[in-house]
Amino acid sequence: MKSYSFRMKRGALRRRARDVSLVLVVLLCATVVIWTWDRAPTSAFLPPESHYLKLQTEEKVERIPTDTKDIYSSATPFVNKDTKEEEIQGEEVTLSETNQGKTPTIEEIKQEHEDIATEPIYRKTPAIEDNKLEQVKHEVPVGEAKATKKTHIKKTNLDPESKSLAADEERTSTTHIKSQACNYAKGKWVVDDHRPLYSGAHCKQWLASMWACRLMQRTDFAFERLRWQPKDCSMEEFEGSKFLKRMKNKTLAFVGDSLGRQQFQSMMCMITGGKERPDVLDVGPEFGFITPEGGARPGGWAYRFPETNTTVLYHWSSTLCDIQPINISDPLTEHAMHLDRPPAFLRQYLHKIHVLVMNTGHHWNRGKLNGNRWVMHVNGVRNTNKKLAALGNAKNFTIHSTVSWVSSQLPLHPGLKAFYRSLSPRHFVGGEWNTGGSCNNTTPMSIGKEVLQEESRDYSAGHAVKGTGVKLLDIAALSHIRDEGHISRFSISASPGVQDCLHWCLPGVPDTWNEILFAMI
Ligand SMILES: *[C@@H]1O[C@H](CO)[C@@H](O)[C@H](O)[C@H]1NC(C)=O
Ligand SMILES: *[C@@H]1O[C@H](CO)[C@@H](O)[C@H](O)[C@H]1NC(C)=O
Ligand SMILES: *[C@@H]1O[C@H](CO)[C@@H](O)[C@H](O)[C@H]1NC(C)=O
Ligand SMILES: *[C@@H]1O[C@H](CO)[C@@H](O)[C@H](O)[C@H]1NC(C)=O
Ligand SMILES: *[C@@H]1O[C@H](CO)[C@@H](O)[C@H](O)[C@H]1NC(C)=O
């Protein structure tokens, strides 16, 4: 018995010793693996480069590869189908979707066409460039990619803002400097007898009749009498003559979608006070705005006030990225939508611009992309990254790349002030643009009259300009509480039952965007 139990004990001891050495071996192996992992670059554990897209950093964006030069500087005027449709329909987002390609489902439109308020709030991270890489290599945990990639990427935020601010201080009055510190996005709407700044019935030279609610069946005009009063700071009153003086020998450029065009027409009416100005010159050809053969209209408009040599222009770029036909000789060609390249117009004419106002937003839906045969490209090739292909991400990515490209150009153009204008909200209630959605309210300020939040309501825009020299023209929240200011059911070109709760009546809300812009330049 004794010897048996002794044997048992010895056997148990031996087994335990074996277990312990096994554990030790495993621990040793684990240590070696962790040690090598720690030392090797993250890239060692990623698929070879050809298996994932490397997104461009600003350095690359600046260089034009010779083999794609023709894509960038294509002289062939590109007829944007959106442009044609908008002209015919007098509408932008709401009416043109179904003409070609696949008709989007209601659900698709709802999802992709939603305004920023319903977009999820994403975690904030400080470095834009790091995140571009994260977007692509989404298998890699965010923290790791950041830690290992940080040193490889050149930061392009050279803080040109402080430079241009210093320049400002030299030539502007003290009140002007004070106004730089004001957050114009915060404030309230007040009724003011000195509004509107021009007559919607008389500004025929600049204002399209499809946006002039005075020329429609609309009979309530309380929405015209509102003025934006920023909180804790006064905003310089807009005057056309003051604007022209400040913009002597200078060019103001709006680049964006039809909401940008509304802001452009509003500005022309504000400068002229809605009066006829036969002396104002059409200088479109100086910026390549020529109606292409077979096209409905040029890629933009440019007008010059001779007394101060001030030019105000608008260029149509609904997605704020470069779009080029893939096969120039094929009329039904697909178009490469280069998410990481700024519109060709900006590359070509930035040196002639002194104040730039960019916007995008409502064109990022499947209907538009399919209808226009736009195919997302990154780094010169078709995008295969599924995460980036999601429209919300593609839009956000494009806003970030165009804004940081413009910011990277600021040191080369010391006279340039660049703005990104945050999203103009839509107000469809009880449906979408094509399912009976409406915006019938006519009482101003019924959903609110004040904005007190510090951060922009347009998270993507706020994030994109952070740390760059591009300033945010933040109109998202103040416009959001102006649901009564849309064209609504009075649209002259819409089919019965279809309302326009996207575009604004002019005079109206976009005038305020320009008042804030004026205070910021
Ligand atoms: C937008 O893109 C930037 C840069 O690529 C990224 O840092 C940010 O998280 C993205 N935001 C959203 C809402 O996707
Ligand atoms: C505007 O340009 C003209 C011609 O180049 C020049 O004579 C004039 O001084 C400029 N004015 C300002 C305010 O820069
Ligand atoms: C008008 O302004 C531009 C700069 O925007 C300048 O190059 C040009 O010389 C000016 N022309 C006149 C006649 O002052
Ligand atoms: C471009 O389009 C033309 C006309 O449809 C066609 O003949 C040609 O083969 C196309 N080229 C390519 C590279 O697909
Ligand atoms: C808005 O007005 C239209 C036309 O008068 C009507 O059909 C629709 O039901 C109204 N919508 C709401 C939400 O009241």
User: What's the mean pLDDT in 324-348?
Assistant: 96
Ligand 2: residue of 171, 245, 248, 249 to mutate (most ligand atoms within 8 A of CB) is: 249
- Which residue's CA is minimally distant from atom 3 of ligand 2? 249
Q: Closest ligand 3 atom to the C-alpha of 354?
A: 5
CA of 358 to the centre of ligand 3 (A): 23
122 DSSP assignment = P
**Which of 158, 148, 157 has the alpha carbon at shortest distance from 127?**
157
Ligand closest to CA 249: 3
Q: Is 429 in the pocket of ligand 5 (CB under 6 A)?
A: yes
- Tell me what the pLDDT averaged over the chain comes to: 76
Report pLDDT for 455.
Answer: 95
Q: Does 122 have pLDDT greater than 80?
A: no
Each residue of 358-398: pLDDT tens digit?
999 999 999 889 999 999 999 999 999 999 999 999 999 99
**Percentage with pLDDT > 90 across the chain:** 60
Most confident range (mean pLDDT) of 53-57, 129-133, 286-290 is 286-290
User: From the CB of 12, is ligand 5 less than 6 Å away?
Assistant: no
Distance 249 CA to ligand 2 centre (A): 6
Closest CA to ligand 5's atom 14: 440
**Distance of CA 470 from the midpoint of ligand 1 (Å):** 17
Q: For residue 264, what is the enclosing H or E element?
A: helix 258-272
pLDDT tens digits, residue range 406-442?
999 999 999 999 999 999 999 999 998 888 999 999 9
Look at ligand 3, atom 1, and give the residue with the nearest C-alpha.
Answer: 249
| Start-to-end Cα distance in the chain | 100
- Name the residue of 249, 287, 356 to mutate for ligand 3: max ligand atoms within 8 A of Cβ: 249
Higher per-residue pLDDT: 32 or 381:
381
Stated pTM of the model: 0.73
The whole-angstrom separation of Cα 316 and Cα 333 is: 20
List 188's β-bridge partners, or say none.
229, 450
Contacts of 298 (CB under 8 A, 6+ apart): 284, 289, 290, 291, 292
Residue 310 has pLDDT above 50, yes or no: yes
Distance in Å, CA 226 to ligand 5 centroid: 25
**58 pLDDT higher than 60:** no
Minimum-distance ligand 3 atom for the alpha carbon of 311? 5
Q: Examine the pLDDT at 454 and tell me if it is beyond 90.
A: yes
Ligand 3 centroid, distance to 403 Cα (angstroms): 27
Give the per-residue pLDDT at 414: 95
122 lines ligand 1 (CB under 6 A): yes
The pLDDT-based confidence of 296 (bands split at 50, 70, 90) is: confident
Residue (of 308, 271, 417) closest to 353 by Cα position? 417
Q: 460 or 70: whose pLDDT is higher?
A: 460
Q: Is 249 in the pocket of ligand 2 (CB under 6 A)?
A: yes
What pLDDT score does 485 carry? 97
So what's the pLDDT on residue 17?
Answer: 59
- What is the pLDDT at residue 15? 65
CB 338 within 8 A of CB 398: no
Question: Is the CB of 430 inside a 6 Å radius of any atom of ligand 5?
Answer: yes
38 or 129: which carries more pLDDT confidence? 38
Whether pLDDT at 41 is above 80: no
Centre of ligand 1 to C-alpha 322, Å, is: 20
Query: 43-47, 383-387, 399-403: lowest mean pLDDT where?
Result: 43-47
| Residues with C-beta less than 6 Å from any ligand 3 atom | 249-251, 309
Nearest to 207 by CA among 479, 519, 489, 508: 508
* Type of residue at 482: R
With a 6 Å cutoff on the Cβ, whether 427 touches ligand 5 is no
